[in-house]
Amino acid sequence: MGLRGMEKTKTLTILEGNKICIGDFFSLPMTYYSLRNLTKSYEDHHAVQDFSLDLGKGEFVAVIGESGSGKSTLLRMAAGLLAQTSGEVYLGDKKIESPEEKLVAGHDEIKLIHQDYQLFATISVEENISRPLLRYDAGYRKKRVNHLLDRLGLEAYRERLPRQLSGGQQQKVAIAQALAVEPEVLLLDEPFSHLDAIQKRKLIFELKDLLKEMGTTVIFVTHDLDDALWMTDSLVVLQKGKITQKGNSKALCEFPKSKYVARLFSSINLIPDLPGCYLRPADIRLRSRGGLVGHVIDQRFLVHYNSLQVRLRESGQVWEVDDPARKHKLGDRVYLHYDEEKVLVLKS
């Protein structure tokens, strides 16, 4: 574990929340949920390879990767719903058994929310949420369901069937259903991919507040960096089943280790005659003379700036360049400058 979140303390050896304090040393969050060297192999490839991640209680992390990178496979192993080829999952000191080790797959302490909702179509919202609580005390069941209906803004829809709800409302019901048994860990498998941008942002904020209030530990997988950053600033980048890089958004944006990671944040432009060296559109300055010469071949109006496509005169390359002053038009000659410290040196 790294040094992020460490605090200096003079407390003697005691347990304090989820930190260990020892003499005059630093305190570290205790690992609560641990994925240890998880691998899932098939005959011709590794879907997930040697994936390790430790989370403290109540910690959020987002795993970002393109389609086919192993995100869903990872979550199913993390939930105890898919047998791993190798590796282990622990919640506290309890080993999470795989379907090969457990008669009925799955664990109440760890719940997985899918992108396709998986609701019971013929029963009401209230009945869907209460379904996981059938073996619980009736008084607790009623109180818990009412709390979730209220907290997720579903009270007015309690008698409706899932097909009578919007996509965002259906996703809320799926979330409430997963939270009914008060799980310690919630795994989110791109649950907002069917929603429009406004619905998505509102639901992420609501869910984040609720999960923080409950102290739930969360792994959120997505292909969309914006979605990830609305939920958390702790990121893990997954490519072809392997961790490519992890850290906070600032570190990954400013110090990406590969083109794959760099392109999560923006497009990048290859600098002529400098193999492996790139610039982001926002790091290029438009001037009246000097530098690289090019012509604007396309222009798009965006909220905070115009995005220009500029063909470089010498190399013929097309660069994407931000124009925050909105000065340049189609056909304009432009002069491009950059600072050396903004250059990204990247491997493939």
Domain positions in the chain = 268-345
Structural contact between residues 75 and 110, judged by C-beta atoms closer than 8 angstroms: no
Domain 268-345 has what CATH class? Answer: mainly beta
What's the number of CA atoms in the CB half-sphere (13 Å) around residue 276? 7
CA nearest neighbour of 255 among 242, 267, 265: 265
Pairing of strands 60-64, 217-222: parallel
209-254: per-residue pLDDT in tens?
A: 999 999 999 999 999 999 999 999 999 999 999 999 999 999 999 9
CA–CA distance, 27 with 338 (Å, rounded to integer): 42
The two tokens of residue 50 are 């040697």
Query: Which 3 state secondary structure label does DSSP give 62?
Result: strand
Query: Which 3 state secondary structure label does DSSP give 97?
Result: coil
Backbone angles phi, psi at 176, to 5 degrees: -60, -40
CA–CA distance, 70 with 49 (Å, rounded to integer): 9
pLDDT at 125 over 70: yes
Average pLDDT, integer, range 314-338: 96
Structural contact between residues 60 and 209, judged by C-beta atoms closer than 8 angstroms: no
254-266: per-residue pLDDT in tens?
A: 999 999 999 999 9
Q: 84: buried, middle or exposed (CB in 10 Å: 19+, 13-18, 0-12)?
A: buried
Taking all residues of the chain, what is their mean pLDDT, rounded to a whole number?
A: 89
CA–CA distance, 121 with 94 (Å, rounded to integer): 35
- The DSSP annotation for 53-69 comes to EEE-TT-EEEEE--TTS
Q: Please enumerate in sequence order all residues whose Cβ is within 8 A of that of 241, keeping only pairs 6 or more positions apart, or say none.
A: 40, 45, 46, 47, 48, 49, 51, 69, 70, 73
pTM: 0.85
pLDDT at 196 over 80: yes
The two tokens of residue 40 are 């899932």
Axis-axis angle for helices 167-179, 197-214 (nearest 10): 10
Q: Give residue 29's pLDDT.
A: 58
The two tokens of residue 301 are 């109006």
273-311: per-residue pLDDT in tens?
A: 999 999 999 999 999 899 999 999 999 999 999 999 999
